[in-house]
Amino acid sequence: MTIFKIKENIVVAFLLIASSAMAQYSSSKIEVRFDLNKTELLPKTIKTLDSLLVVFKNYSDYSIELNGHCDHLGTSELNSPLSLNRAWRIATYFKSKGIDSKIISAYGYGNDKPKYDMTLDSLNRRVEIIVSINKLQAKNQNKPTDEKKEPISLDQKIKDTNVGGKFIVNAIEFYPGLSQPLPSAIESMNELKAALMAQPKVNIEIQGHICCSDADEENLSGKRAKVVYDYLIDNGIDSTRLAHKGFGHKHPLNNESTPQLAQLNRRVEIMITRK
């Protein structure tokens, strides 16, 4: 297998997701697609990249890894540089928007690492964007500077909430316009899983919300709730204990007058349905 790596203008960052020495970092992966034999960014891809840029403004300690891939068509000699050029195209876009090239790494894997089978081969024309963010920074992103109280654990929130009541899981937030959770959300989803395991009689409904638009034509809020639902099932929670639902923009927490306030509305709430 030949792996091509950009060397010019891109300083390769450490692979934070795989380094135990970088355990204070949390990572998430976003996929974007390309047309057959093309490296041009599609309108939907640009929208996704712009959504990531909005989030990046809230952080100073993060890195971006770009892994380019191809479908099964063509030879390795053609696909390896094509996959690299797809990753490079995204790196160039980020750089044009002010992202420091030192925190970007880009790789091309050709068709050596297909994620999808032949029936979905077009989905293999992709770049995987791995964003790694300092977990401490992520936790404190929206925390008031004068707040001194210890956060209430999700286990305790479940114990304190009656059937029909609900609470917000503040750290389960999402990239703008996407159902992909921020890296900071993974730890909270694990905490929610642990709380449900510790309280096996509790059933919940996972409620998704969006910001900034009264229209939710693609049911983004529902997709966000489904992401948490799937994560819990994949990590050992019985599906009979879970339900999920999207509420669009019906219940904003604030007036979204700043990007930080808007981010708080890209959220998940938990309603207790049985105890």
Q: Can you give the residue ranges of every domain in the chain?
A: 4-137, 142-274
Report how far residue 208's alpha carbon sits from residue 181's, in angstroms, rounded to the nearest whole number.
12
Q: Supply the pTM of this predicted model.
A: 0.65
Residues lower than pLDDT 70 in the chain: 1-25, 135-150
- State the pLDDT at residue 187: 84
- State the pLDDT at residue 45: 92
Q: What is the SS3 assignment for 149?
A: coil
- State the pLDDT at residue 7: 42
Tens of pLDDT, residues 157-214: 999 999 999 998 877 878 877 888 887 788 889 999 999 999 999 999 999 988 877 7
State the DSSP H helix or E strand holding residue 185, giving kind and residue range, or none if neither: helix 183-198
- State the pLDDT at residue 18: 41
Rounded to the nearest 10 degrees, the angle between the axes of helix 220-234 and helix 183-198 is 60
CATH code, 4-137: 3.30.1330.60
CATH class of 142-274: alpha beta
Sequence-distant (6+) residues with CB within 8 A of 95 are 9, 101, 104
- Residues paired with 29 in a beta bridge: 130
> Does this chain's domain 4-137 share its CATH topology with 142-274?
yes
Report how far residue 13's alpha carbon sits from residue 172's, in angstroms, rounded to the nearest whole number.
26
- State the pLDDT at residue 266: 80
- State the pLDDT at residue 147: 47
Report how far residue 91's alpha carbon sits from residue 84's, in angstroms, rounded to the nearest whole number.
10
- State the pLDDT at residue 17: 38
- State the pLDDT at residue 25: 62
Report how far residue 266's alpha carbon sits from residue 261's, in angstroms, rounded to the nearest whole number.
9
Would you put residue 197 in left (φ > 0), alpha (ψ -120 to 50) or beta? alpha
Report how far residue 267's alpha carbon sits from residue 173's, in angstroms, rounded to the nearest whole number.
5
Sequence-distant (6+) residues with CB within 8 A of 121 are 71, 72, 73, 114
Sequence-distant (6+) residues with CB within 8 A of 78 are none
- Quote the DSSP letter at residue 8: S
